[in-house]
């Protein structure tokens, strides 16, 4: 499961065009692509279902990040310098060659794990197991099929998981064991998500009373899962600052929205398209501005770097609230009777 030979064989068969195709496919399993997909769902189709998918995305990211840090397995290009990182085209400078697992079910070599974990304390190179792309693809595509009860999406979900998993192996970013682990984690989280949708907590999640500062069980439960746990995990260095920023930014945005009332999803096709455009624009522009701004910051210490990483995701994530405010001011949630019936039929 942690052998490099299958990856090397696949890469030996590859062409420039096939590699380009694999990079496009692997992008569909990235958090950026899935966030854009959820934003389109939230502002263009159904706000409640979109925000449920946001929660699934956030928890999948949190669990994956925690497992990566706890397991601390290297990526294939660290284990064997014959493996190319075709996704970014970075030259492989690993001192190891042919050190993949000898047995199919064996774990990575102990000496390599020791060397990797030692250098990981001083660098920002990423961990391998489990695959975040595959976990997110499994959870989110399965989640979309579940919340919309759509047979077509449910049918293509296995295909999406397989092609994204294959792309991660071919590009040299993951072992077979990594993608299988990612699929398993995504499936487990999808099962929990499905049970949540069938429980009374789903309806409570969209009630103002559930987010008042009161010592009620459901209030404490929501605040714990949405704020206390990610803060605790961040303090324990179990998740990175950027993951914590996205998690907290999205949930702070939801807290501000729920206190004013969840917006009405009705509207014409033009209104829905305008809402999606505004939300994606604010998300993209805020990310771009922060990226450019912080790149000019110069030399920074560890605390400054952590704060910057946090803000670079917290602020764009919180634009969900700003988008709702702007769309409300522009009457883009206004009920359009002429198109209401047809639009609702499409959503259902």
pLDDT digits over 236-279, tens only?
888 888 889 999 999 999 999 998 888 888 888 999 999 999 99
43 and 272 Cβ atoms separated by less than 8 Å: yes
Residue range 291-307: average pLDDT?
Answer: 72
Please list, in sequence order, all residues whose beta carbon lies within 8 angstroms of the beta carbon of residue 80, skipping any fewer than 6 positions away.
4, 8, 94, 96, 97, 98, 99, 100
The residue ranking higher by pLDDT, 102 or 233, is 233
- Could you report the per-residue pLDDT of 87-101, keeping only the tens digit for each? 887 777 766 776 665
Q: Can you give the pLDDT at residue 290?
A: 87
* Banded model confidence at residue 302, pLDDT cuts 50, 70, 90: low
pLDDT attached to residue 334: 67
CA angle 231, 278, 311 (to 5 degrees): 25
Question: Of the candidates 247, 236, 227, 229, which has an alpha carbon nearest to the alpha carbon of residue 56?
Answer: 247
* Average pLDDT rounded to a whole number, residues 219-236: 90
Tokens of 8: 């090397």
Q: Residue 301's pLDDT is what?
A: 63
**pLDDT tier, 344 (very low <50, low <70, confident <90, very high otherwise):** very low
Question: Chain-wide mean pLDDT for the chain?
Answer: 86
Q: How far is 49 from 146, CA to CA, in rounded Å? A: 10
């Amino acid at each position: 499961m942690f052998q490099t030979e299958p990856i090397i064989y696949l890469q030996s068969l590859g062409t420039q065009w096939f590699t380009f195709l694999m990079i496009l496919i692997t992008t569909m399993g990235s958090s950026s692509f899935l966030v854009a997909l959820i934003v389109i769902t939230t502002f263009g189709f159904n706000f409640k279902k979109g925000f449920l998918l946001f929660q699934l995305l956030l928890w999948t990211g949190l669990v994956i990040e925690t497992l990566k840090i706890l397991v601390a397995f290297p990526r294939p290009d660290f284990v064997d310098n014959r493996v190319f990182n075709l996704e970014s085209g970075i030259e492989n400078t690993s001192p190891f060659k042919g050190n993949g697992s000898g047995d199919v079910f064996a774990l990575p070599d102990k000496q390599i794990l020791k060397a990797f974990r030692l250098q990981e304390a001083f660098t920002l190179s990423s961990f391998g197991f489990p695959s975040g792309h595959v976990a997110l693809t499994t959870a989110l595509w399965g989640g979309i099929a579940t919340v919309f009860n759509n047979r077509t999406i449910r049918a293509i979900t296995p295909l999406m998981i397989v092609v994204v998993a294959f792309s991660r192996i071919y590009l040299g970013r993951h072992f077979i064991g990594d993608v299988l682990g990612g699929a398993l984690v995504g499936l487990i989280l999808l099962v929990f998500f499905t049970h949540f949708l069938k429980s009374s907590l789903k309806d409570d999640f969209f009630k103002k009373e559930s987010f008042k500062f009161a010592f009620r069980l459901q209030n404490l439960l929501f605040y714990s899962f949405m704020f206390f746990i990610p803060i605790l995990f961040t303090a324990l260095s179990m998740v990175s600052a950027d993951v914590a920023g996205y998690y907290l930014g999205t949930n702070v945005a939801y807290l501000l929205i729920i206190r004013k009332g969840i917006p009405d999803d009705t509207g014409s096709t033009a209104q829905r398209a305008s809402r999606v455009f505004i939300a994606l624009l604010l998300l993209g522009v805020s990310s771009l501005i922060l990226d450019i701004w912080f790149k000019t910051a110069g030399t920074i210490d560890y605390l400054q770097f952590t704060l910057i990483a946090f803000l670079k995701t917290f602020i764009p994530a919180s634009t969900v609230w700003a988008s709702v405010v702007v769309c409300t001011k522009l009457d883009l949630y206004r009920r359009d009777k002429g198109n209401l019936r047809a639009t609702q039929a499409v959503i259902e």
